[in-house]
Structure 1
């Protein structure tokens, strides 16, 4: 989940009903856009651990692309705007703190054209959730896939 810098304590995820449990943000997302006067001419984005994980896991930045705990790199900022965490480190942390892990995948695909008034090429929306079970296996919990067929609207 992406933390928009300020939701960690308030649990305000812009929903009508509150979440059924307390959600802990795991990562922050930073995008350097080309039109910013503070950025270079290239567009790039980065993810980094949330304040909660930095504090609770005693993480420190290694000055490059990783985060260190107990003298070894346990989180790496990889390509394609992704964070990779050492599995044994994560499992030990969630067991020690009696936490559960849930992943969400949300997306949409659409060919950009002139809009709905012209020949609309269609659109697909998808949503998946996964969780870590008692055997430390990743299990898909649900899948939703909707399509809006091509046509004139």
Structure 2
């Protein structure tokens, strides 16, 4: 359960932390508490699973990365956890996760997002993943982004 202050912190940060030198201080001043309390409460909410993450969400297009692709892989289920961990550690993979297959139409169980400034950049990254997965991968596909979608999470009304 969240109390009134936790709710206020969520409402103050749900569209993102303020883009200032000391964002926690800005939130604290808005709520009349200390920056330390904001940070501790956010850490506690993260630990409890009330909030999922505290992270920057870049706009890849504005950064020049126009060839963004969700790679999907049909990986041996016995090795998907260890291989997924290795793929997630690649510096060009922004997120990587396992999802259930939906046979017979969708055989893929490992997903990894890559971002390239050119199509060749993205293809090189995909080749690195394919090599890493090796014989434990039976097939793959790439779903390239055609537009950027608004990335938002849960919104709590005031």
What TM-score do you get using the length of structure 2 for normalisation?
A: 0.25
Which structure carries more strand by proportion?
Answer: 1
Considering Cα pairs closer than 8 Å and 6+ residues apart, tell me whether 1 or 2 has the greater RCO: 2
What TM-score do you get using the length of structure 1 for normalisation?
A: 0.26
